[in-house]
Amino acid sequence: MKEKRLSRFSNAVSTAVGLGALLILCPANLLATQFRSADVVEISGGEILDDIFTAGGDIHLDAVVIGDFFAAGRTITVSDSADIDNSVMAVGQRVDINGRVRNSVRVAAQTTTVRGHIERNLLAFSENITLDSRGWVEKDATLFGNEIVIRGRVGGLLHAGGNTVTIAGQIDGDAKIEGHKVVILPTAIIGGRLTIESDNEPTIDEGASILGGVTVGKPEGKDTGYSTGDFVWDAWWFLARFVTGLLLLVLFRPFMRESIHCLSAASLRSLGLGALFLICLPIAAVILGLTVLGIPVAILVMLGWIVLIYLAPVFVGLAIGDMILGRTRMSRGLGLIAGMFLGVLIVALVTGIPYVGWLAELIVLCSGLGGFLLTAYRYHTGTCAGETAV
């Protein structure tokens, strides 16, 4: 009975994965999109008349791209000589933008460094963000992270929020900064008004040029403490995911065991695949939804996408529990349940860390999605590692 349920489940998952890939590839044929995946991805030489979607460990772009560049990996580097005609969207541990991007750049990473020329906007969520002295964002820059340093030029508005924000470069428009520690160095030039919200007195050097004046105040109506309501809400989500994990273990135990193997043996592949799935599937659903016949399917795809986002921490939690308790204990009696409880608890605690918790949550989300998809693929193709993998 369990094998039949598992077979129906794996077939449904495989169908969903296939449908998602089909939805992505159909519009991709129209846009002449290239998909590349490897541990090391080198894209170089000449002119590429395609959008590029790539996932891997280390990704290096040194080419002229007439389209968009989407990348998910450990390190992502756009070289000095690279020229991207449209936008860049990158998710990784480290992202370096050194070349020219003729549209906007959107980044989620642990470390983001911009030394190149961005002709439109920059949106970055990172623990550490640096706009180098060679870096130039022609329009607006929106930056959120732990430590933000601006030595280059922002041609429009700057909105920065973080623990430490340092400005040593040029902001042509207004600058709004929210941070625990704000430092304006003597080399800073701000063409508009500088607005600072901080619990501490900012450091503004007398040599700094601020043409629009300065407004300094404390954050209003913002409670940074951890209230009873926050605890109840977090506890509710933890218990909900733990109970969901228990149901999945009861109904689809072999599938859950195989997901541990996928996340342990192919962690980088899971991270990259999950990031691409996270980005591409909503785009494909929107494109499909533009047609009358495609609206019901688009709605179903988006519902499945939301469900998988909810389940992703469960798969990662189970893999973490396996790593901590050891595979011998995890395979005995209540070992899987104990591992699930411990792993999901660790995920909840790590993703709740101030300033960097969002990055951990993004990694958990992408890894869980990728691990789920790899497991579904292995069940569909009959290449599962089997019980000995756990």
93 and 44 co-located in one domain = yes
Distances (CA, A) of 284 to 31, 48, 279, 305: 12, 22, 9, 12
Say how many domains are in the chain.
2
What confidence tier does 234 reach under pLDDT thresholds 50, 70, 90?
A: confident
101 and 205 co-located in one domain = yes
Residue 132 lies in a domain: yes
pLDDT at 137: 97
State the Cα–Cα distance between residues 37 and 70, nearest whole angstrom. 12
CA dihedral 84, 85, 88, 94 (to 10 degrees): 10
**Window from 44-58, 291-305, 329-343 with minimum mean pLDDT:** 329-343
Residue 111: in which H helix or E strand, if any? Answer: strand 105-114
Last residue of a domain, one of 185, 217, 249: 217
Residue 20: in which H helix or E strand, if any? Answer: helix 2-31
Task: List the domain range (segments joined by +) for residue 39.
Answer: 33-217
Q: What is the DSSP string of 216-280?
A: EEPPSS---S--HHHHHHHHHHHHHHHHHHHHHHHH-HHHHHHHHHHHHHSHHHHHHHHHHHHHH
State the Cα–Cα distance between residues 288 and 18, nearest whole angstrom. 15
8 A C-beta contact, residue 315 and residue 368? yes
253 and 189 co-located in one domain = no
8 A C-beta contact, residue 152 and residue 144? no
Neighbours of 217 (CB within 10 A): 9
Last residue of a domain, one of 162, 182, 217: 217
Residue 222 lies in a domain: no
Digit-coded pLDDT (tens) for 106-134: 987 889 999 999 999 999 888 899 999 99
Identify residue 304 by its one-letter amino acid code: G
375 and 273 co-located in one domain = yes
In three-state secondary structure terms, 92 is: strand
179 and 317 co-located in one domain = no
234 and 150 co-located in one domain = no
329: pLDDT strictly greater than 80:
no
194 and 319 co-located in one domain = no
Last residue of a domain, one of 194, 217, 240: 217
69 and 185 co-located in one domain = yes
Digit-coded pLDDT (tens) for 331-352: 455 566 777 788 888 888 877 7
Q: Work out whether the CA dihedral 255, 257, 261, 264 comes out positive or negative.
A: positive
39: pLDDT strictly greater than 60:
yes
199 and 238 co-located in one domain = no
Residue 27 lies in a domain: no
288: pLDDT strictly greater than 80:
no
Residue 13 lies in a domain: no
Digit-coded pLDDT (tens) for 157-216: 999 988 899 999 999 999 999 988 999 999 999 999 999 998 889 999 999 999 999 999
101: pLDDT strictly greater than 70:
yes
212 and 239 co-located in one domain = no
206 and 242 co-located in one domain = no
